[in-house]
Structure 1
Amino acid sequence: MRIAISYPPIINSLGQKAMVSQNRNVQFFKEPTYLLPVTYAQAATWLKQDGHDVLWDDGNAQLKTYRQWLDDLVKWSPDMVILESTTPVMKFYWRTIDEIKSLLPNTIVAMTGYHSMRMPEETMQACAADLVIRSSNVDFVLHRLVDYISKNPSWRLTCPLEGLHIRMRDKEIRSTGNFRQVEPLDSSPLIDRNLVKWRDYGYENGNFLQTPGTYATSVIRDCMFGKCTFCRYNGPDLTFSLMSVQRSLDEYEDLINNHGVKEIFDDSGVWYRGKEAREFAQGIIDRGLHKKGCYFGINTRFEYLDEETIKLMGKANFRFVLLGYEAADDETLQRLNKGYQLQHVENCLKWLTKYGLHPHLTIMVGYYWQTQQQLDKTVSEVKRLMLSGLARTLQVTLCTPLDYTPYHQECIKEGVLLTSDYDDFDMSKLIVKTPIPHDQYYKAVREMYGIAFNPLFILRQFRFLLNGRKRDWQFLFTYSVRAIRRVRQHMFNLTRHEGVKTAEDLGAVS
């Protein structure tokens, strides 16, 4: 079969592109960030190994217009098109699916992604999609499904695979129940980097200090914690699967030695901890990969890595460590079910900094309960951590209820959502009622991103040069030039609704 795994370019009225791949919080950026969708890259690789003709069709990363993308897809005439989407662009995808089906009526169009996973009937009713794949393990499902379809013309009636919503010939929808929650990740192939044109994603990414960089095949899918109420990885239908350490090390060795990769980031919801984390770092050292000039990065949680593990990671040339900080008050952390205590934050950051790693904090503002006092505390603590050198970079976002997560459901229950229009969920403005005017949160975003231009912060970066580490020189003299344009972009995106004075948009709870 001819299978296209497709990402149509989506551009808003400001000329910004939607960053859809990897199914995280979709935002529109003028300065592009191209993210390799790892699970879908594994799916493409597996289908190719199964003998199918696979088109890796990322219109964003391949710099196509929508019309170019669609014309090329129609010309290639696939038997099946796989799309990945999420809340802010659902209406766009429904229109696009109908257009594909009008031009390619015999092509099977499958929708995937966390929104459709949780609302499959909605997508089936809103467009002409042939099926919805409800599993986050898209690679495993497609490996089984495409083989079945290729051998069974009556697959709509007979397909026994779990986790599908299938459109029948008479327009009825057939559900095959829940999907398999855990899959053996070692069975899914490591990504064929040439097939997915990995260099298209190797440069425009703020996570990379050195380029070309790439994303590793995730060692954890989805998240071993999986309890944060705002996160897509939370839900009764989700758990996690784990890849073996040695297999991941094999991939790192191949990426460095055979592809010339200069930075590798593992975007697992949360990376290894404990024994596996130490085994991985030691494996990097034992294979001599720490001497190849490549940096390594991960997502982790406060309290997941002890000093012994962090010391070993520093020796293994780990650099970028992303930590969800979210807020600096205990009430918010408890309501978000973050599962860590603020008293442990500083020790973790001290260890990371001590051993030469670059901690990156992710913060959110605009929770529907967040008071001025709580907001001020978060801003104050973020400033302290950044100006003291305990954290090197940060990312601030507006807390947007996502994809029928527990936080989204809670907002609906509490009656605090200001809109039900999916187009408004693009993280460019607050869409919940709050105790204080929305402008206060936009001001906080501006203030935290403004730390990058604070003379004390810049002076601290010069002081890091005394450590004699190459990465600190790169951070100050190379990365900072690229980072400034992204900081300005984020400030614009997240504060452009500042000053709106209608009662609804202010969202203040009376």
Structure 2
Amino acid sequence: MSQVKLEDVDAKNSKKARKEDPLRENLGTRRVPKLRMANFPDADDIVHQGLMEEERGPKAVDIVLVNPPTPDGGYWIRTQHRVGRRTRENMVWPQVSLAQMAAMLHPQHSVAVIDANAERMGWPAFAKKLDELKPKYYMTQVTAPTLENDMYGCFLAKARGAQTIAFGTHVTPIPRETMRPYPALDYILLGEPDLTIRDLMDVLEGKVDQRPDNIQKIFDTHDPMYEPAYNEDGTVDLHKMKGLVWRKGEEIVVNLTRPFIPNLDDMPLPMHELLPWQDYRMPLIKGPFTFIVTSRGCPAGCTYCIKHVSYQFSVRLRSAESIMEELWKLKNMGLNNIHMYADLFTVNRDQVMELCQRMIDEKINLKWTCNSRVDYVDEEMLTMMGKAGNWLISWGIESGSEQILRHARKGAYPDKAARSLQWARNAGIKNWGYFIIGLPGETEETIRQTIDFSKGLPLDIALFHVAAPYPGTPFFFEVVKNGWFRPGTRWEQVDMDKGTVLDYEGLSAERLLYWQRRAFREWAFRPGPIITYLKMLASDISTVKSALSVGLQTLSWQANRD
């Protein structure tokens, strides 16, 4: 008979006790482990490698040029050398500047254009389009009222591995303070972007030696000091690239300014075929329309004009022959409505007269519109323009007060306006007048003067905007100097159409907006303008929906009275 040791009995009893104790089954009764140093897993390299090695499908491109989705889903006006604003007139602004840059890059660099504004594309669809195109580079329009919105597009592109590039009238005067708060933005192209984007792409992609003769000619003639941005050992040195703003670690580097392209005829014709041109619309026009750039720059000195940020006082003309070549291209695409897009279409009388004569002689049979100043026309020229197919001119009239116009350095005074507009009307050309409420020196009396003046002009359409001090204009610096900015102003509020950032002594922002709406109301709600609107409805059934939309938007805007 075996002996049972006492310690064995104790062990068995202890085991039995543990089994019978339910807390022993709860692991939470154990002692808490000592605090150790964190050692988090690092998957960055794997994820980055996966992003870089992700297969690029047949629709993938080197660069996508974008007019991104708009802040509120409505139609907005944005372009290379203009400011941004929402359009109450349902105008869908053709993105010819993007088509021009596409032509500068093609075919050595594969290009796609997204005009989300024209295609009514929201951010989810836009992101899906980026997934499809998988661009290496992403280039976007940027304007003051759409700044945060436009930077969201850079964020989406950057998250997909693209290098991001911005251009436009907002980033040119404030490059550092655009780059600093938006780390998703890699590059800014200062001023005229057409040649800088070609230079940047060629250098980064190693294609400088693949430039065709026509592009190389522009590089050779625009800057006698030009050289590709390479070091002697062949490595890239972005310090040498004029017109570029870029990041060097934590530093934001602003390079030397790039000279303007001297001869616009040297540039290839814009690739209009990449644009959704069937979606471009303008009031009073049946069917689609598009732009053709006839010149760049304006010699006038208007202090509020964004020209001080874009082409300044330079004026460069395209030849009538070059313009006709592009007009025939558009005609053959099926476009019969053209807007002659320029800072000032009538800046050179000889160019306008030769172009009109060629249009008549070649029987191109296009309907076209343009802009002008009342002091850059004469009766003979307007008659010739009417014969060549011009049917509408938009005039920058701005104010009925000579005092206000002198302060703004407009140079075109009220006495010339009635005469020039009447000449146009006699030539069968409709008149579209633009006015600005709230330029420096404005009072309720001068606003009243402008309203009365507008009602006495032979106008078919009139729009009244509130003065907007866009960054870089002399008006902007005057507003800063005098403390006329409303406290807490954000760039998205600098908009000539839907709000104001100005607070003058004796004329508050609220009063400016009140007078803007009142001015339009007094001008529009009269028999003449109402008949014009009804004729627009009756002239073409296809414009009814747009015309009604414009009317409803205007009534909604007018309902927001102070």
Question: Which among 243, 252, 255 is matched to residue 176 of structure 1?
Answer: 255
SS of match in other structure, 1:363: strand
1:436 and 2:507 equivalent? yes
Q: Which residue of 1 aligns with 2:268?
A: 189
1:90 and 2:128 equivalent? no
Question: Which among 334, 340, 344 is matched to residue 406 of structure 2?
Answer: 334
Deviations 1:164-216 (A, max 9, x none): 11212x23233321121343211211122222232232x3x22x523221111
Query: 1:157–1:172: structure 2 CA closer, same or farther, 3 Å change rule?
Result: farther
Question: Which among 322, 330, 337 is matched to residue 247 of structure 1?
Answer: 322
Question: Which among 65, 68, 83 is matched to residue 5 of structure 1?
Answer: 65
Query: 1:110–1:226: structure 2 CA closer, same or farther, 3 Å change rule?
Result: farther
Query: 1:89–1:253: structure 2 CA closer, same or farther, 3 Å change rule?
Result: same
Within-5 A mapping of 1:30-429: 32-48=90-106, 50-104=107-161, 107-128=162-183, 129-136=185-192, 138-151=193-206, 157-158=237-238, 160-168=240-248, 170-201=249-280, 203=281, 205-206=282-283, 208-216=284-292, 218-221=293-296, 223-235=297-309, 238=312, 239-256=314-331, 258-272=332-346, 273-289=348-364, 292=365, 294-385=366-457, 390-418=458-486, 419-427=488-496, 428-429=498-499
Alpha-carbon separation, structure 2, partners of 1:476 and 1:399: 34
Alpha-carbon separation, structure 1, partners of 2:169 and 2:394: 22
Give the partner amino acid of 1:34. Answer: V
Alpha-carbon separation, structure 2, partners of 1:184 and 1:148: 23
CA contact (8 A) 1:11 1:17 kept: no
Q: CA deviation at 1:248?
A: 0.3
TM-score, normalization by structure 2: 0.77
Work out which of the two has the higher radius of gyration on C-alpha atoms and give 1 or 2. 2
Query: 1:460–1:31: structure 2 CA closer, same or farther, 3 Å change rule?
Result: closer
CA contact (8 A) 1:22 1:36 kept: no
**Worse overlay, 228-237 or 124-133:** 228-237
Alpha carbon RMSD of aligned pairs, Å? 2.6
Give the partner amino acid of 1:274. Answer: R
Q: CA deviation at 1:51?
A: 2.3
User: Among the aligned pairs, what percent are the same residue?
Assistant: 22
TM-score, normalization by structure 1: 0.85
Q: CA deviation at 1:251?
A: 1.5
Q: CA deviation at 1:355?
A: 0.8
Unaligned runs of 5+ in 2: 1-60, 208-229
Q: CA deviation at 1:454?
A: 1.8
Alpha-carbon separation, structure 1, partners of 2:66 and 2:532: 44
Alpha-carbon separation, structure 2, partners of 1:131 and 1:60: 23
Equivalent pairs, count: 468
Unaligned runs of 5+ in 1: 463-472, 500-510
Q: CA deviation at 1:488?
A: 4.3
Give the partner amino acid of 1:89. Answer: T
Q: CA deviation at 1:461?
A: 8.7
Query: 1:282–1:116: structure 2 CA closer, same or farther, 3 Å change rule?
Result: same
Alpha-carbon separation, structure 1, partners of 2:528 and 2:87: 29
